Amino acid sequence: MSLFKKEENLTEDEKKASVVAFWLFVVSVFAWVIPFTVLFVLQFMKLGIGPALVASLWPSLLTFAVTAVLCVIVYFLYKKFVLKI
């Protein structure tokens, strides 16, 4: 048996749920990366690198937290109402 051989015995609904979970994770990561990058570039022009990191980190984490909570809610609603798992 190979170390990296993965045998899946997932149902179609479980496969769909894992795909939705992956894309919701991607959405939540982009919800942090995009605001952080925009805020960092705008603050970097005024303040320099150190203060720009601090000034852009906290507001972008707030958007990430809100988006992550919404993604978790969407995932469980998807599993319950759409897939009926």
Q: Tell me the domain boundaries of the chain.
A: 24-83
* Closest-CA residue to 24 (of 74, 84, 85): 74
d(CA 31, CA 24): 10
The residue assigned the tokens 């805020």 is 39
- What is the model's pTM? 0.76
Tell me what pLDDT residue 1 has.
45
Structure tokens at 20: 């939705």
Residue 56, judged by CB atoms within 10 A of its CB (0-12, 13-18, 19+), counts as: buried
Instruction: Give the mean pLDDT per block of 10 residues along the chain (85 residues).
Output: 61 87 94 92 86 87 93 93 82
Residue 73, judged by CB atoms within 10 A of its CB (0-12, 13-18, 19+), counts as: exposed
The residue assigned the tokens 């690198």 is 49
